[in-house]
Copies of this chain bind each other. A is one copy, B any other.
Amino acid sequence: MGKYDLLKLENQLCFPLYASAKEIVRKYKPFLDDLDLTYTQYITMMVLWEEKEMNVKTLGEWLYLDSGTLTPVLKKLESKGYITRKRQKKDERNLCVSITEKGEQLKEQAIEVPLKMGACINLNAEESKSLYELLYKMLRAL
């Protein structure tokens, strides 16, 4: 192992992580275009399909995103009619994001997305599970 070998792209762990995350999000695009959602909007809706409502801070913790990213995403989803944004009465610092009826309906269409994506990933069940666990182990420590 030469002095500079660790600086080669091929010896980096971060690079395939960075590149495959990008490529897989790109793979989502045609499926998400059908729903008129971007990937960031999609994962935001995922949380709200499950939880119905949540304040911005908690949403950011779920998604590993800060308010600088979420604010424009949430405004966009609001303008599409999928969510509402409302200050909480008892503590006006909190902004509560809630899913609308129209947002709920989108869920029916969205069911297709994970199925279609599954077919794009070249890993078997065991490999997927292994990858999933390694990623979460790393993520928890970051």
Seen from chain A, the residues whose Cβ lies within 8 Å of a Cβ on chain B are 3-4, 6-9, 11-28, 39, 43, 46-47, 49-50, 62-64, 107, 110-111, 113-115, 117, 120-123, 127-128, 130-132, 134-142
Q: How far is the CA of A74 from the CA of B138 in the complex (A)?
A: 31
Cα–Cα distance between A140 and B19 once the two chains are bound (Å): 11
Q: Is the interface of A mostly helix, strand, loop or mixed?
A: helix
Residues of B within 8 A of A14 (CB): 21, 24-25, 28, 117
**Of B13, B24, B25, B110, which contacts A121 at CB under 8 A?**
B13
A36 CA to B20 CA, complexed, in Å: 25
Query: Chain B residues near A12 (CB, 8 Å)?
Result: 46, 114
